[in-house]
Chains A and B, each alone.
Chain A
Amino acid sequence: MTRRAPLALLSLLVPLVATAGSLTIKGSDTMVILNQRWAEAFMKKNPSVKVQVTGGGSGTGIAALLNGQTELAAASRPMKDAEKAKLKAPPVELAVAKDGVSFFVNEKNPVTALTADQLKSIYLGDVTNWKDVGGPDAPIIVYSRESSSGTYVFVKEHLLQNADFGAGAQTLPGTAAVVNAVSKDKNGIGYGGAAYGKGTRELKVKTGATEVAPTKENVKSGAYPLSRDLFFYAREQPKGDALAFIDFCLSEEGQALVEKVGYFRVK
């Protein structure tokens, strides 16, 4: 009974709030949890505004924006030119967070840095021995995530350019399982969001002569190649509730939530 009371109260409040002001955000599944956290915190501060968050994918969100079905579209990729062409005026683009993926190996593995191309051929299953990438003569045991994971999609799109993972890549349920497996497997390599664990070491990514570690600063500055911006799109310069919401997302409090959810700050 006590658990029902707040629900009952909420259902009483909803009609009032909805009339006061509402804002819809639709799009990227990667950003759904982040958007929800933002919306919850924002609504706590501004009880008169109702923020509605739905997923469906970046493409779905952008399509809804073009049709005028949503005020803001959340996208984990920049808008395509073909999509922009459907609008009379260019849309307003705003990077609100950053998403990055780090690769890690067992701490006993002497390899400290790989190029993006080397990582790609490892995950495609073309390179199967550590000696081909400057390591010891040992097989590479490749750990990956299930296809339902956002990180899986990020690696597939960003690193593999949409090619398929090699058949030998083992898919584990959860980043924790990958970290655990790599920490126990001296020939293992795995990837995850901002997740590192005992017994594993992050790999730096080589671009030319420089090696870039997946640190907060490098992701923020864009120096780390395996990162991407997460965007909000609007048809025109946002005002009113939408502007207040975006300001909140970019505020210190909003950016702290970004880190809490597991992504990186833009500010």
Chain B
Amino acid sequence: MDARSLGSSFAPREAREAPGLGGPSRWRQRREKLVEAVVTLVAFLGIAALALILVFVAKEALPLFLDTEAMKEVSLSKLFLPQVVREGRPPAFVWQPVSEVPKVSLVPLLLGTLKTTVVALVLALPVGMASALFVAEFAPRRLRVWLKPVVELLAGIPSVVLGFFALMVLASALQALTGAPVRLNALVAGVGLALAIVPVVFTVSEDALSAVPSSYREASLALGATRWETAFKVVLPAATPGLVAASLLALGRAVGETMIVLMASGNAALVSASLFDSTRSMSATIAAEMGEVVVGSPHYSLLFLIGVLLFALTFVLNTAAAAWVRYLNRRVGVAT
């Protein structure tokens, strides 16, 4: 509202000047137009790049549904339903794409991504948000000015370093703690992922909490609420849209993150509900197998199909997130 009324008060003068005066004023208008065009172009380039990537990935996966040779090896029922893989054994979900008879069930991979993601989020969301709440509401000013940059620095650690840490240190520590027979398992990978995600959750949540107008806090305190009550019952609900955005950003990162899971999960494509079993995620599968796959083979297309699935998953999640945040924004009435 404010912005528009300000703009309209300037508008008449601009309109009066434009047609009459040449020289500097017209030059400025042209420059404005040019800048606008460049910015629009750049924005569309970004979108075009995204669209082209999707087209490319989908194109490489397409032979699975068109090529008769590939259709023999891969079909929807083989991708998602249990198959008999060894004589005399019950049907099972097996991922063994390099084999005389390739087994291409995506179920263990979907399950692997799900398990590591859930572990990572269950750990990272409370930790990230609690530390954001502490920094935004309770930390003394002097602590805050260096706490925030330090946590944000953690976001810059390359995931291969975190993966190596998970493989060497975390796995042994967690095995000593839980007594799990399998050293590299979904839990280790999930905890490793959480290390990568906490800084993301923290940064976005902290921004959202700090953006809550201080008049909210003042009103709450004036009504006799304590600082804890203010933080939990006023600031936190008011920042909900931002916290939801942080959660979904974290979810997207957890689903797509590759290196940590590749190094720390053991990569055995098992169908098991236990967190203490080794697990194989979709992203790690692409990274591990893309290197030597025969270009154009069904296995190659299959890896791209997994890419399309990951892409679709993130796209749906992000769209749903955006819609939800818009809804919450309208309900809470706080801009973030």
Q: Does A172 count as interface, using CB distance less than 8 angstroms?
A: yes
Query: How many A-B pairs fall under 8 Å by CB?
Result: 74
Q: Does A200 count as interface, using CB distance less than 8 angstroms?
A: no
Could you say which residues of chain B place their CB within 8 Å of the CB of A168?
268, 270, 278
Closest to A169 in B: B268
5 A-B residue pairs with CB within 8 Å: A141-B182, A141-B183, A146-B288, A148-B293, A184-B171
Q: Nearest Cβ distance between residue A147 and chain B, in whole angstroms?
A: 4
Q: How far is the CA of A148 from the CA of B280 in the complex (A)?
A: 16
Query: A172 and B96: CB pair below 8 A?
Result: no
Which residues of B in the span 171-222 have a Cβ within 8 Å of any Cβ on A? 171-172, 181-184
Q: Does B94 count as interface, using CB distance less than 8 angstroms?
A: yes
Additional 16 contacts, C-beta under 8 A, given A168-B278, A172-B266, A173-B262: A146-B267, A146-B289, A147-B288, A147-B289, A148-B289, A148-B292, A148-B293, A164-B94, A167-B95, A167-B96, A167-B270, A170-B182, A170-B268, A177-B167, A181-B167, A188-B183
Could you say which residues of chain A place their CB within 8 Å of the CB of B99?
162, 164
Q: How far is the CA of A170 from the CA of B171 in the complex (A)?
A: 14
Q: Does A112 count as interface, using CB distance less than 8 angstroms?
A: no
Given A172-B266, A172-B267, CB of A148 within 8 Å of CB of B172: no
| B residues adjacent to A (C-beta < 8 A) | 85, 92, 94-100, 103, 108, 167-168, 171-172, 181-184, 262-263, 266-270, 278, 280, 288-289, 291-293
Query: A181 and B184: CB pair below 8 A?
Result: yes
Query: B269 and A167: CB pair below 8 A?
Result: yes
Contact with B along A207-227 (1 / 0, CB 8 A): 000000000000000000000
Query: B278 and A170: CB pair below 8 A?
Result: yes
Could you say which residues of chain A place their CB within 8 Å of the CB of B108?
167
Query: A170 and B184: CB pair below 8 A?
Result: yes
Q: Does A185 count as interface, using CB distance less than 8 angstroms?
A: yes
Could you say which residues of chain A place their CB within 8 Å of the CB of B171?
184
Closest to B93 in A: A167
Query: B96 and A141: CB pair below 8 A?
Result: no
Q: Does A109 count as interface, using CB distance less than 8 angstroms?
A: no
Q: How far is the CA of A170 from the CA of B99 in the complex (A)?
A: 17
Q: How far is the CA of A162 from the CA of B167 in the complex (A)?
A: 30
Q: Does A191 count as interface, using CB distance less than 8 angstroms?
A: no
Contact with B along A181-205 (1 / 0, CB 8 A): 1001101100000000000000000
Query: B97 and A184: CB pair below 8 A?
Result: no
Q: How far is the CA of A185 from the CA of B180 in the complex (A)?
A: 11
Q: How far is the CA of A215 from the CA of B97 in the complex (A)?
A: 33
Q: Does A103 count as interface, using CB distance less than 8 angstroms?
A: no
Q: Does A231 count as interface, using CB distance less than 8 angstroms?
A: no
Q: Does A121 count as interface, using CB distance less than 8 angstroms?
A: no
Q: How far is the CA of A125 from the CA of B270 in the complex (A)?
A: 12
Query: A171 and B181: CB pair below 8 A?
Result: no
